Amino acid sequence: MNNTNKIHIGVEATYLERESQPDKARYLFAYTVTIKNTGDIAARLLSRYWKITGGDGHEQEVEGDGVIGLHPYLTPEEEFTYTSAAMLDTPVGMMQGHYTMVGDDGEQFDVTIPSFTLAVPQTLH
């Protein structure tokens, strides 16, 4: 059974003006991710992979175990929401990636995290 399309990912990003230092090329963004199991098999998140691209084309990759120190286990129709942050050296950038999960059926699969924009307000028209 293919679980890939049965996990829904939603992301909202926010510029953290108070924690940013534009004069030092430090732009901090928070992003809140909601992971929802829309399938009929429970699954656990094992790891994450992010590609963060700045407005200058500079890329950084982040891989790690779980998310925010957790390995959420989602039963059918259950969702998990967490907030994390990313630092850019440009006022605009983007993030994309995937989560590696394992279903109760033993199948390991990747779930694509759709790309989303990180932008200081009023920098994109």
pLDDT tens, residue by residue, 61-118: 999 999 999 999 999 999 999 999 999 999 999 999 999 999 999 999 999 999 999 9
Asked whether 33 and 95 are in contact (CB, 8 A), the reply is no
From CA 28, how far away is CA 91, in angstroms rounded? 9
Q: What is the pTM (predicted TM-score) of this model? A: 0.91
Q: For residues 36 and 67, what is the distance between their CA atoms, to the nearest angstrom?
A: 14
* CB atoms closer than 10 angstroms to residue 74: 20
Which CATH number describes the domain made up of 4-119? 2.60.40.1470
Domain ranges of the chain: 4-119
Contact 15, 29 (CB under 8 A): yes
CA distance 48 to 46: 7
